[in-house]
Amino acid sequence: MVAEVLEHLEPSRGGVFVDCTVGLGGHARAILEGGAARVIGLDRDREAIARAADGLKGYGDRIELVHGDYRSIGDVLDARGVRTVDGVLADLGVSSMQLDAPGRGFSFRRDEPLDMRMDTSSGPSAADLLGEVDERTLADLIVEFGEERYARRIARALVEARRVGRIETTGRLAEIVRRAIPRKGYSRIDPATRTFQAIRIWVNRELEGLDAFLTRAAERLGPGGRLVVITFHSLEDRIVKHTLRALQASGAIAIRTKRPIVPAEAEVERNPRARSAKLRAAGREPQAVRT
């Protein structure tokens, strides 16, 4: 959704922009090409930072890449003496690079170690967490983060399978989940999809502090500054929607998208993973005065 991001960020105004999930650098490059004077790009994934650095090296000191969590935006800006910015972009969720990269454990399409960490340098892996969690907690998180109706059966099956041996690969996890779900004819998605989403969100604490991040990002916008957020599932989008409404009610920002913007059909045809994307935008009024 590069065109939609540029429309709402308006980097042609110049100034400093933050790409909170820089990934391979596609959005950052578009923002720089669109007229931004400087982009600070964050990512939890060291591999993404390295690949983005290679792809964006032609922009010199107009781009600065930081290995860090988007929720640390305040600390990142403070460390660089940046009080306000002209735009903030957060493209949430797992990236195509992470899904496609072998050995990361995000996808059940390959049998590989069950890791799922966006930042492989810290925190327990999915295999570690699944080896310790109790059945009730596991069921609750599969319901909460995966909205899976068979969460109790899946959790029971995973705990029982654990007695035979640790669940250490994506293939074994997917097979246990599939066998736990009753078969009722054709399904548009793989039966393991929702459980994999739930475990990934749990491992990376993806929803934790999202509302606080949006508040901090809004506070950092200068007059006329823009905030653009792209979500890929209903749990994220619900938090973003309600937080932006609360920020608007407080007078901090004004919402610019009455309804979430979804990808055009042509983009979905090129990239089916974009199908679930929703973009919401907000900003400060140009005449706003910060105290």
Residue boundaries of the structural domains of the chain: 2-93+207-283, 103-204
CATH architecture of 103-204: Orthogonal Bundle (1.10)
Terminus-to-terminus CA distance in the chain, angstroms? 34
Q: What pLDDT is recorded for position 286?
A: 85
- Distances in whole angstroms, Cα of residue 114 to Cα of each of 128, 142, 155, 168: 9, 17, 17, 5
Distance between CA atoms of 167 and 233, rounded to whole angstroms?
26
Q: Are strands 221-231 and 278-283 parallel, antiparallel or unpaired?
A: antiparallel
Contacts of 226 (CB under 8 A, 6+ apart): 8, 9, 10, 86, 87, 88, 256, 281, 282, 283
| Helix 193-204, helix 135-146: angle, nearest 10 | 100
Say what the pTM is.
Answer: 0.90
pLDDT for the residue numbered 289:
44
Q: Is domain 2-93+207-283 given the CATH code 3.40.50.150 in the classification?
A: yes
Q: Do domains 2-93+207-283 and 103-204 have the same CATH topology?
A: no
Structural contact between residues 47 and 23, judged by C-beta atoms closer than 8 angstroms: no
pLDDT value at residue 188: 77
- pLDDT in single tens digits along all 291 residues of the chain: 899 999 999 999 999 999 999 999 999 999 999 999 999 999 999 999 999 999 999 999 999 999 999 999 999 999 999 999 999 999 997 777 787 778 899 989 899 999 999 998 889 999 999 999 999 999 999 999 999 999 999 999 999 999 999 999 999 999 999 999 998 766 778 999 999 999 999 999 999 999 999 999 999 999 999 999 999 999 999 999 999 999 999 999 999 999 999 988 888 888 777 788 999 999 998 864 444
What's the confidence (pLDDT) of residue 185? 65
Q: How far apart are CA 57 and CA 63, in angstroms?
A: 8
